[in-house]
Amino acid sequence: MTTPEQVRPGQILPVDVDAVPAVELGPGIHVRMLPGMEGIRTWVIDLAPGAEWPDLDVHDTYGEAYFVVRGELIEGDRVHGPGTYVAFGADTSHRPRSETGVRAFGFNYDV
């Protein structure tokens, strides 16, 4: 099955996340784009141990949020473990990394 970009009105769409092809964004960084809703991009990222986001991730106009599913994601000097929800508003930036490896589920708000 090819994963659609968006869920249509009235549609219920279960997706096996691990069956969605991963795109490598940088060494040890893989993203799987999941179906979103209008104005929302939905994704899962996996960072291997020692991986760091290739560049500063800047959110000029809209925000981003993620939920750590397993492992640890580090933002600056803060470590976010499983069960942590992290939200970024407009006019923010970050460069996540992981020493242990991590899987996070997230959203970009592009309304």
Residue 15 belongs to some domain of the structure: no
Residue 50 belongs to some domain of the structure: yes
What does R_g of the chain's alpha carbons equal in angstroms? Answer: 14
Residue 13 belongs to some domain of the structure: no
Q: Could you read off the pLDDT of 7-60 as tens digits, one per residue? A: 888 889 999 999 999 999 999 999 999 998 888 899 999 999 999 999 878 888
Q: Are 35 and 75 in contact (CB under 8 A)?
A: no
Write down the pTM of the prediction: 0.88
Range of the domain at 33: 20-71+78-106
Task: Indicate the number of domains in the chain.
Answer: 1
CATH of the domain at 24: 2.60.120.10
Residue 43 CB neighbour total at 10 angstroms: 19
Q: Could you read off the pLDDT of 94-106 as tens digits, one per residue? A: 899 999 999 999 9
Residue 25 belongs to some domain of the structure: yes
Residue 5 belongs to some domain of the structure: no
